[in-house]
Structure 1
Amino acid sequence: MRLFKTMILTGGVLALGFVPAMANATESGASLYLLGSGGPGAAVMPPVEGVFFDKTIYVYDGDASARRQFPLNGNIVAGLDATIIASFDTILAVPSTDFLGGTLAVGMTLPLGAPIVDVDAVLTGPGGGSLGTDRHDSALTVGDPVGVVMMGWHGEKWHVQLSSMINIPLGHYREDQLANLSLHRFAVDGSVAVSWHDPASGWDISAKGGYTLNGDNDYTGYDSGDEVHVEAAVEKALSPKFSLGAQAYYLKQVTDDRGGALGPFKGEAVAVGATAAYNVVMAGTPATFRGRVMQELDATNRPKGTSFWLDFSIPLTMNIPGQ
């Protein structure tokens, strides 16, 4: 049972790292890497072969002053207020726990959600003309699928993970509109995570850092700059079922945006938050619910806001040695 709880407790973390979401610098205030996903157990891989499912309900609410301008799907807007309510479904397959001395995992995430955008003014539209003030846009739409490959190694308490994910621009992109889930560009992220995970004491201390390489949007001609992200988390298991922790993240855009009217438009952000997990058994199968809240303390060239998460993880199939 301890084996299953460790696996499911970290399964949601593994899946959440592959989800695109609103809230960073770059075009449309959106980035491939979901800040806050490198939480407790960030480097811990599933200990057995199998197929795992993760569903994440994600809510983000952020805004920016009317004095700030943002590129948004070919528009230049001011006074941005953005909300996203989305569901991200992830299938993660672990074909081997002895590949190059470690565990191999591959997965795919598909987002479905309702971005809601209000702006005080649209300064220029895709054709260059002014479109006026006070615009609202919302839609139920499908985002880009995101693929991932991970490799992890572990000792008695130490875990190390290398991961790479790619955004494939096949989602529903609403041309010239304000509200989108699709990035409509290729993007690749490479990350490394380290966890000190001690089941006996219940403590987990994790850190994760990565680099996101962004491509260009072939419809708007906007080439988003690259980003560096760093995260850390500490969590304590207070009982076999319940754990509580704190985490933080920092983002810095390291190369300029190109092709837009606002120049380099480099972004930066810092946030702190809390997380909790609850382990249950459903029809004889271990599962975990995890909640998070992250509050941005400062932001440059991006909305500043709060994100809420509810994550559910469960194995679909497991190849358990000895059975």
Structure 2
Amino acid sequence: MIGHIRQAALLAALATTGVAPQPALADAGGVSFWLPGIFGSLAAVPGMPGWAYSTIYIHLQGNAGAGQNFVTSGGARGSVAAGINAHVDALVQGITYTSPMSVLGGQAAFTVLAAPGNVGIGIDATLTGPRGNTISGSASDNRTTLTDVFYQGTLKWNQGVHNEMVYVVGNIPSGTYDSSRLANLSFGFPAVDAGAGYTYLDLKTGHEFSVVGGLTYNFENPFLQYQNGIDFHVDWAASQFVTKNVHIGVAGYFFQQLTDDRGPGAKLGGFKGQAIGIGPQVGFIIPLSEGYQGYLNLRGYKDLEVENRLSTWTAWVTFAISPAAPEPASAKPIVRKY
């Protein structure tokens, strides 16, 4: 969600020294269109038909400090050592409609999401030229703004303890993207992500395991003349229901850029990114008014390994309100009429 941090940060720092390199960045500036950890426990379990509302608070803290090769506008070969610190606080708002009609034997749902948020970036960079001379600069930016509008369609099936899902996610670029700013919550280009998922849920034993994998295709950012490569990602989660309404466990992700970045601005070549992360989670199912329930999930992730990306830790707080499954007839109280 940070969007183009590395490229914008290096340009800003080097601009203070009078050096004008060509654009150079990793997949989406060190943070991809796909934010690892989006899917968690119960991801593929069908819900009840009707309207649902969700709000997700996301805090992301990222940093990077490494030497990267690039080509300057004059064609000289050099290296850049950059120190980047960034934070994002976003409050995602989403509305989902789940259809009561069967589609290909499964359950179809459609979601629209967007988020206001604050992003802050501080950088320090040093340019080392081919003769060993060095020049340094720093820059920072802080901005409260809006993300793109995101859409998601899902189709889910249930066979006892087994649940399957296919999905597609994309974005509609908003007018809040500013290629002259370091701090952006929007991307400046559209992208489409599609994949499939599976959830094992045994209500008798309380065991739950979910895994979702997908591929992201990014279109070119016309402002930077840069197109990210195709990304592959896997989100997973495992938990145990300790009571009927409470489950605890762990969650994690694997992210790998498969194809090279390209376009006139891609002067670093492929520069493929990778990330592996893991963290704890706890979830609560909360009975609300008749016919509705709430779900509260808290989870956090820490990158264990990264390559050509920001090293991050993230905290997620999700609260959703959705239609509840009707109680079994045997669970309803018997009312006698005299």
TM-score by length of 2: 0.79
Separation in 1, partners of 2:2, 2:159: 33
Residue 299 in structure 1 maps to residue 306 in structure 2: yes
Question: Shift of the alpha carbon at 1:67?
Answer: 2.8
Residue 56 in structure 1 maps to residue 56 in structure 2: yes
Determine the structure 2 residue equivalent to 1:39.
Answer: 40
The residue correspondences of 1:130-169 to structure 2 (distance < 5 A) are 133-169=137-173
The residue type equivalent to 1:185 in the other structure is F
Distance 1:157 1:297, change over 3 A: same
Determine the structure 2 residue equivalent to 1:308.
Answer: 315
Determine the structure 2 residue equivalent to 1:29.
Answer: 30
Separation in 2, partners of 1:156, 1:279: 20
DSSP 3-state at the match of 1:289: strand
Separation in 2, partners of 1:77, 1:89: 38
Consecutive unaligned residues of structure 2, counting only runs of 5 or more, are 7-25, 71-79, 128-134, 329-338
Higher Cα radius of gyration: 2
Separation in 2, partners of 1:135, 1:292: 32
Question: Shift of the alpha carbon at 1:220?
Answer: 1.2
Separation in 1, partners of 2:325, 2:204: 25
Determine the structure 2 residue equivalent to 1:261.
Answer: 267
Separation in 1, partners of 2:57, 2:69: 29
Equivalent residues of 1:21, 1:33 under 8 A apart: no
Separation in 2, partners of 1:53, 1:279: 15
Distance 1:69 1:27, change over 3 A: farther
DSSP 3-state at the match of 1:290: strand
Equivalent residues of 2:2, 2:119 under 8 A apart: no
The residue correspondences of 1:85-100 to structure 2 (distance < 5 A) are 85-100=89-104
Residue 233 in structure 1 maps to residue 240 in structure 2: no
Separation in 1, partners of 2:160, 2:126: 56
Question: Shift of the alpha carbon at 1:31?
Answer: 2.3
DSSP 3-state at the match of 1:140: strand
Residue 218 in structure 1 maps to residue 222 in structure 2: yes
DSSP 3-state at the match of 1:161: strand
Equivalent residues of 1:49, 1:318 under 8 A apart: no
Percent identity of the aligned residues? 27
Determine the structure 2 residue equivalent to 1:16.
Answer: none
Equivalent residues of 1:68, 1:79 under 8 A apart: no
Question: Shift of the alpha carbon at 1:68?
Answer: 4.7
Determine the structure 2 residue equivalent to 1:289.
Answer: 296
Distance 1:77 1:153, change over 3 A: farther
Instruction: Provide Cα deviations, 1:12-66, integer angstroms capped at 9, x if missing partner.
Output: xxxxxxxx566995132232322112221121121x2101111000001111115
Instruction: Provide Cα deviations, 1:147-203, integer angstroms capped at 9, x if missing partner.
Output: 111101110110000000111112410221111010111100001001111112111
TM-score by length of 1: 0.83
> RMSD value over aligned CA atoms?
2.6
Distance 1:251 1:169, change over 3 A: same
Separation in 2, partners of 1:29, 1:225: 12
Question: Shift of the alpha carbon at 1:305?
Answer: 1.6
Separation in 1, partners of 2:46, 2:197: 11
Residue 209 in structure 1 maps to residue 213 in structure 2: yes
Distance 1:66 1:106, change over 3 A: same
The residue type equivalent to 2:295 in the other structure is T
The residue type equivalent to 2:306 in the other structure is A
Distance 1:183 1:239, change over 3 A: same
Question: Shift of the alpha carbon at 1:112?
Answer: 1.4
DSSP 3-state at the match of 1:233: strand
Equivalent residues of 1:32, 1:167 under 8 A apart: no
The number of residues matched between the two structures is 290
Equivalent residues of 2:240, 2:248 under 8 A apart: yes
Determine the structure 2 residue equivalent to 1:127.
Answer: none
Question: Shift of the alpha carbon at 1:318?
Answer: 7.4
The residue type equivalent to 1:213 in the other structure is Y
